[in-house]
A and B are shown apart, each in its own frame.
Chain A
Amino acid sequence: MQLFPCPFCGLRAEAEFHFATTAGRARPEGAPDDVAWARYLYGEDAPKGLTTEIWLHTTCGEYFLLTRNSLTRLITGSEALR
């Protein structure tokens, strides 16, 4: 089990966290076409290597940015969304 750094609570066990989404995926507003909308809904890139993701710390309820290496599982940083 890994330890994840919550920007508010510090290092906590992996089981307390949920993956939310890859960072920087803006929600298409207005009336996007079906292809763009489907891509937003289901098109996770799952990049190999360094990746920035949004995770949820379920115990404090805060979403935050987590940068990690999806290959080595090395956590390189975390920061609050704002």
Chain B
Amino acid sequence: MTGWRHPTLGSEIDRTKPLRAKVDWEVIDGFQGDTLASALLASGPRTIARSFKYHRPRGVMGFGAEEPNALFDVTRNGTTTPNARATLVPLTDGLKARAVNAQPTAQKDRARWLDLLHRAIPAGFYYKTFIAGGWHLYEPRIRKMAGLGQLDPTTTPHADTPIRHARCDTLVIGGGVAGLMAARTALETGGTVWLIEQSRHLGGTLRWRGGEVDGQAWPDFVEDTRKAILASGGRILINTNAWGAFDHGLIAAYQRYVTDIHWQIRPLNTVLATGATERPLWPAGNDIPGVILAEAAHHYLMLYGAVVGRRILLATGSDASYATAAALAEAGADVTLADRRAKTPPAPEGVLLLKSQQLQSVQGRTEMFGATFNDTFLTADTLLMSGGWTPSVQLHCQSGGKLDWDADKDALVPRPGTGHMRVVGAANGTFGLAATLIEAGLPPQTGPDWHWETARPNPLIKGRVWIDFQNDVTLKDVTLAAREGFTSVEHLKRYTTLGMATDQGRTSNFAGLAAMSEATDRTIPETGTTTFRPPVQPIPFTVIAGRRRGDLFNPLKRLTLEGQHKSRGAQFREYGGWLRPSAYGDDERSSAQTEAKVARETVGIYDASPLGKLDVIGPGAAALLDFAFYTRLSTLKPGRARYALMLRENGIVFDDGVVMRVAEDHYVVSASSSHAEAVRFVLEDPRQDRFDPGRVAIHDVTQAWTTLTVTGPRAKALLDAAGLPVDCPAMGLTRSTWNDMPVRIARISLTGDISFEVSVPTSDGAALHAALEAARIKVGGHWIGLEAVMILRAEKGYIVVGKDTDGSTMPHDLGWGGPRLKRSDAYLGKQSLFTEAATALDRRQLIGLESAEVLATGAHLVPLDGPRRSLGFVTSSYMSPNLNRPIALAMVEAGHGSEVGIFHDGTVTRARVTPACAFDPKGERL
């Protein structure tokens, strides 16, 4: 319990509102405005986490997205977020947090003995060890031990994060002084300015370091800029993390806590002002709890009054840390500044300053008690490190930007003109307030010098030096990788897992790179950098999925008459993207049998509205359809309909349906329900690319019409009773008005019985339904679902494209060889029908099957004698209530005998080959 709460400091906490949370079952007190990390620092134990591989004790180290240690599974308002970074989680009352990767708690972790084995498990240990005997032997146990947080199955995560698309003239990412200055400049040139800030407050380092901007106290500057952005019509998104930069300037950002929104913003200009991350230092034992980044300590002190320790050592090489030391001393801590440099500014008041101090090691086990500089041990409970700064250039690199090594700044900085963003402030290598304001165009001013004396991991140091804290990569692992030849940074990363953790190597990538360059005697630019990929910070999968799950994952098309069908007892299923009645009644299977029987005996009515209806209109319509269909349609007389097949250029059957010629220059193409959209584009293609698009137009009017089909021997009687015209020949259509509404009746049949497709404008659908229902009660009959319709059409051997055909079925395989032999004009797919494969004698043909039992759809047809091989497969199979026997359709190689074997579930049964049409083969019922 080394951290403590200062009695007065803390600009962002409200001491009148105390909060209580539970971390690893221990009570943690804090205030409104605290983050989980600041509350832990101010009141909690030091060991709050365990490291990933060695299960070493760890404490809070940073204050933002760079935090490598303080990961928790956080439960708030009934929702558990795994692997939440304590530094970014606002403290709320009743919040529960569990340390990840530790059982039962971080303090008493049962797996802490693993650290004793560290010599036996260096980098690459898995690759070298678990290959013997096969990885699957070890995988279950290792998987159980590996990984970080756990999802809590008893709580449901948010899955309702909506995506919002937005555009603005200028998007500024980062609400620190550089970002605010960029916003101010953009406002001067006009246009809307949006600003994204990851924390809850604007101001960045100004909030803890203070300062003046352009003659204004910083809070006034921040407030004025905030107001100006809002006044221009812009927006400020706080608690928002810009997680990815994509093509054409798209920025994805996740806004949390108050509102959950997944933003997709397309700005004209983007300014990147994401600042920089402080580098740690690399003494032995630099991961012991109590070792913290210097800027983090400053931040916690000023914003939350959370003081990181009582006896504090601050190891630095830059003037920038002097303000930190001064603030901590003023707050009452005992502060010793240990500067790497010989030439330093004067010691701040109350601070002991030591010069030319080389930090060698940190002493302690579960908590540090001192550190050694220049072979001299100094007692302390806290060590603050400042090893320099690494610009946060992830989004710049994601947008295609390159980096240059700037030796003067000791950092990789964005190369101007390579990404599509303008990078400013610390992200651009402009460190400190004074330099940032000069960069933003304000006159020169004075401030602390942020240059630092270069610090690098020293391979000669004895003991274990942590490079990547989150993935437990030590300096020895990096030099091992170098020795074993993994010298490319991309190999180094994969071999040691350096920088692959959820902190994305913010504190470690640079150190790893520097260590590798040293181990291989190369410069840093020669060593290169790894690729930055989205997300910049971890975001939940539920955010990426957004509302696209459950019913909204793939929303179904709904019938206008869904309510009416429901009230008649319909059950619904999805058919080709439409939610349609499968049967009317509780038991789908037996209802379908009853319905199929009734439809043959009296009359059945079904909703055929999803059937595609494409109006093809104009003097060029006949020529277009002749080309687009396998079946000739220009010879069709107005008022008549014809069954037609549509092929693609490869000769494969793409769709089938009835084409009606309403008038000389007006056709209606009925496409399969699931295919209407696609068929439209098969027609659009030649319309735009081959014919004169001025002479023919295509309109998809599927949703404009409600179609109810009346089928069965008493269909005429039912239509009569409803007052509908029935004077229509088979394969003909009539158009008239009925009760003042336009009605189109087509006598075309999918069932083999007399059928009338009655279509009215969708707005009149309910009236038609009511009239047919009233007539049905008089005449008898039944509403029938799609399952019954499927039985009826299979009895007749009518195919469903895609079910009874596959990606190799040509029209002559289905018995429609006529046009292929007769048509001499050009049509889609013609050339493909005469290739060697298309004319082969063993092509699969559509047949019917007669068997004792209902066959399994998909079962293979096999020869009864000789070696077993597939001759084809069952495509549709039903119990026929009208024939009182199982029926099936199948595709089978030509040359089969009159009997075939049906191979299913390891056994072969026999089936007799019949024509596809099993019911009323002469078509006398039509």
Contacts and interface: CB of A to CB of B under 8 A. Distances in A.
B836 A34 contact: yes
Interface string A54-82: 10101001110000000001000000011
Interface in B814-872: 826, 831-832, 835-836
B64 to A, nearest CB: 28
Given A41-B650, A61-B684, A1 B832 contact: no
B649 A1 contact: no
Q: Which of A1, A31, A54 has the most CB of B within 10 A?
A: A1
B681 interface: yes
B247 interface: yes
A63 B831 contact: no
B17 interface: no
A2 B248 contact: yes
B229 interface: no
Nearest to B837: A34
B724 to A, nearest CB: 34
A54 B690 CA distance: 14
Given A2-B247, A32-B831, A41 B649 contact: yes
Contacts of B688: 62-63, 81
A73 B247 contact: yes
A31 B831 contact: yes
Interface string A16-54: 001010000001110110100110110000000000001
A82 B831 CA distance: 27
A82 B688 CA distance: 9
Contacts of A73: 247
Contacts of A62: 688
Contacts of B250: 1
Contacts of B247: 1-2, 73
B689 A37 contact: no
Contacts of B720: none
B248 A34 contact: no
B67 to A, nearest CB: 31
A9 interface: no
A1 B250 CA distance: 7
Nearest to A56: B681
Given A29-B826, A31-B831, A41-B650, A20 B685 contact: yes
Nearest to A28: B831
Contacts of B257: none
Contacts of B831: 28, 31-32, 37
Interface in B223-251: 246-248, 250
A3 B349 CA distance: 58
Nearest to B681: A56
Contact of A3 (B248, B680, B681, B684): B248
A82 B649 CA distance: 23
A34 B835 contact: yes
Given A37-B831, A61-B684, A1 B689 contact: no
Contacts of B698: 61
Nearest to B694: A82
B689 A81 contact: yes
Nearest to A80: B688
A63 B836 contact: no
A67 to B, nearest CB: 16
A41 B647 CA distance: 14
Contacts of A3: 248, 266
Given A32-B831, A37-B832, A73-B247, A63 B826 contact: no
A1 to B, nearest CB: 6
Nearest to B648: A41
A32 B831 CA distance: 8
Contacts of B836: 34
A29 B831 CA distance: 9
Interface in B264-304: 266
Contacts of A34: 835-836
Counting contact residues on chain B (CB < 8 A from A), the size range is: 20 to 34
A37 B830 CA distance: 11
A28 B248 CA distance: 38
Nearest to B692: A82
Contacts of B681: 18, 56, 58, 61
B368 to A, nearest CB: 49
Contacts of A27: 649, 690
Nearest to B690: A27
A56 to B, nearest CB: 7
Nearest to B686: A27
Nearest to A32: B831
A78 to B, nearest CB: 14
Contact of A63 (B266, B684, B835): B684
A39 to B, nearest CB: 12
Contacts of A58: 681
The winner among B266, B688, B832, B835 for most chain A CB atoms within 10 A is B688
A1 B252 CA distance: 11
Contacts of B680: 61
B689 A41 contact: no
Contacts of B650: 41
Nearest to A3: B248
A32 B832 CA distance: 10
Interface in B639-658: 649-650
A1 B684 contact: no
Nearest to B266: A3
Interface in B687-703: 688-690, 693, 698
Nearest to A31: B831
A29 B836 CA distance: 19
A2 B836 CA distance: 42
A3 B249 CA distance: 10
Contacts of A56: 681, 684
Nearest to A30: B826
Contacts of B826: 29
A31 B681 CA distance: 25
B689 A63 contact: yes
A38 to B, nearest CB: 8
Contacts of B248: 1-3
A62 to B, nearest CB: 7
A3 B267 CA distance: 13
A31 B832 CA distance: 10
Contacts of A20: 685
Contacts of B649: 27, 40-41
B199 to A, nearest CB: 28
A77 to B, nearest CB: 15
Contacts of B693: 82
A19 B394 CA distance: 32
Contacts of A37: 831-832, 835
Nearest to B698: A61
A41 B826 CA distance: 16
Interface in B793-826: 826
A29 B830 CA distance: 10
A72 B689 CA distance: 28
B827 to A, nearest CB: 12
User: Which of B649, B689, B832, B836 neighbours the largest number of chain A CB atoms within 10 Å of its CB?
Assistant: B689
Nearest to A81: B688
Nearest to B165: A13
A27 B835 CA distance: 16
A28 B693 CA distance: 21
Contacts of B266: 3
Interface of B: 246-248, 250, 266, 649-650, 680-681, 684-685, 688-690, 693, 698, 826, 831-832, 835-836
Interface of A: 1-3, 18, 20, 27-29, 31-32, 34, 37-38, 40-41, 54, 56, 58, 61-63, 73, 81-82
Listed from nearest, the 9 A-B pairs whose CB atoms lie closest are A2-B247, A37-B831, A3-B248, A63-B688, A2-B248, A34-B835, A61-B684, A41-B650, A1-B250
15 contacts: A1-B246, A1-B250, A2-B247, A3-B248, A29-B826, A34-B836, A37-B832, A41-B649, A41-B832, A56-B681, A61-B680, A62-B688, A63-B688, A73-B247, A81-B689
Given A37-B831, A54-B689, 5 more contacts: A2-B248, A3-B266, A61-B680, A62-B688, A81-B688
